[in-house]
Structure 1
Amino acid sequence: MVQRLLAEGRVRVADPDYEEVAEWRKVVDYAKWHGLEPPGKRIEKVRVGRGGLETFLAEGPHPHARSRTWRGEGSTVRVPTRLSSPHPVVAALRDDEERLVMPAALRRRSLLLLQALAAEAVRRGYGVREARSYSVRREGGVGVVVTEYACKVTVKQELPQSINPERAARLVVELDHGVSDQPSGALA
């Protein structure tokens, strides 16, 4: 199947019955589970028309895949060990006692991560804006604007209620699905 997708780009099955759909799902799941997807690509399947099924190769990891690591080319961003001369957006988060409500060590790590992101964005010529709409008090983030594409990056404590100290000490960094049609200053 992977060879066929590489050769044809897309494989479409018109009006498959239940067993054909189940078989395609099994084949796609097998390929994903056993790492048969080409590097930097993922196999996607979608329903088309009045019951057709299309399978194709898409770029990069699935947007909802937390456990998968991207193997593409990229640079490493150094996270500072001290929060000196923070970006104004990070400084505002640091000074806001209503945001990033979590143990002091995790709050410090969150601010350092956001500072690293903001500094790298500025270094690359991107905009960094305040990102205000958080769902809970233990979150904080920054908005990164690349041309007309705005994306909010949020840091939060993953399992604040856990009694396991290792699990309670984990942070989660989340990217929203950026918006391309809103003005670059309006990340709310």
Structure 2
Amino acid sequence: MQLREFRRDLLRSAVWGAAALVAVLATGCSRAEPSSAPPPTVSSSLPAPVGSSSAPSVPPAEVSPEEGPDESPEPSPVVSRTGKTKIVTLGDVEVRVTRSELGFSVACNITNSRGSKLNFKVAISLGDGEEWVRSTNFDFPNVAPGQTGRSTTTVMGNFPDGKNPDDPKIYIDSVTEY
């Protein structure tokens, strides 16, 4: 007899829990007062290629409503050229890419603008904007305040049609302080 009563109580609790879940899902969770916040926007978590036409059209000086008054907007990359070298600067990171017979010579510089000695890791990708993409990481240990860490490497790969792109897209994927 006790087992039946226990099952009945368990079943009753499950039914009430399901009814409460259906009621919440049907009505939705909302506040009684209308929200003054703007509707949420959807953004891609992948970085836009530097110099591509899919970059956001918001001017860099404009602060979005989602950011507080103390937060600054993300820096915009600056793309320039010196001869055959394409240079992308994003905040304290500068990436220089020069086409060579073996692939691309890639140099990465990062300046420590903080007040203490830090380690940095910078991940970058090069691509042709269609199908070819190669990634590399730069590790900068113990960069003193005000100093610049420098590193170079060569990025090679199986290029489409056997030749490397004339104007590679440069992506600064991430910059990590640790």
TM-score w.r.t. the length of structure 1 is 0.28
Rg larger in 1 or in 2? Answer: 2
- Which structure ranks higher in relative contact order (CA pairs < 8 Å, sequence separation ≥ 6)? 2
Write 1 or 2 for the structure with the bigger share of helix. 1
